[in-house]
Chain A
């Protein structure tokens, strides 16, 4: 992180997202407690009919400079309200996969 740039807080991430996607339900979790690895779940009707890539772009767009300069790592889940209801287990954590290289 460049000198003089303050680490971002979960609340700042949340309010930046809400600034662009006002109807969103946003949960931000500081994974390490150190302000460098965050996990965000963003639920909004604005995502309906949009690809995952474009949903994530919308969130990254809301974070703009913060994404480049102040956020070291952000794991993102974007859902519509309908998908949120269907989600039995929210996507989080590593999928347990046996690695067998080529």
Chain B
């Protein structure tokens, strides 16, 4: 069962160029950290996928094991774990996130 969740997560992060595991949805984030991360992503005006971990307890726990990272949100670009809210915000402020995003999804 737990391995199924990990396999599913692996499939998701490889399928979607930009993927955010979050609490809630981009329109209705259910946590301040998820909301702040969405705010950063939206500023780039690119399409991205999101998974609401509140909908699925196995994914909620599985994604923490998958990345060896204890919290949600978690951002993946091109299958690679980028970071949580603090790192995403910091990379955004320093201009380090945009090249990653543009490389993944050419505008």
Contacts and interface: CB of A to CB of B under 8 A. Distances in A.
B8 interface: no
B87 A94 contact: no
A57 B42 contact: no
B84 interface: yes
Contacts of A68: 70
A75 interface: yes
Question: Contact residue range for chain A?
Answer: 20 to 34
Contact of B42 (A56, A75, A101): A101
Nearest to A39: B86
B68 interface: yes
Contacts of A60: 69-71
B43 interface: yes
Contact of B90 (A67, A74, A91, A98): A91
B34 to A, nearest CB: 11
B16 to A, nearest CB: 14
B85 A75 contact: yes
Given A73-B32, A91-B90, A94-B36, 13 more contacts: A53-B69, A57-B69, A60-B70, A60-B71, A67-B70, A75-B33, A75-B85, A91-B86, A91-B89, A94-B39, A99-B43, A102-B42, A102-B47
Interface of A: 52-53, 56-57, 60, 67-68, 73-77, 91, 94-95, 97-102
Interface of B: 26, 31-33, 36, 39-40, 42-43, 45-47, 68-71, 81-87, 89-93
10 contacts: A73-B32, A75-B33, A77-B90, A95-B39, A95-B89, A98-B43, A99-B43, A101-B26, A101-B42, A101-B45
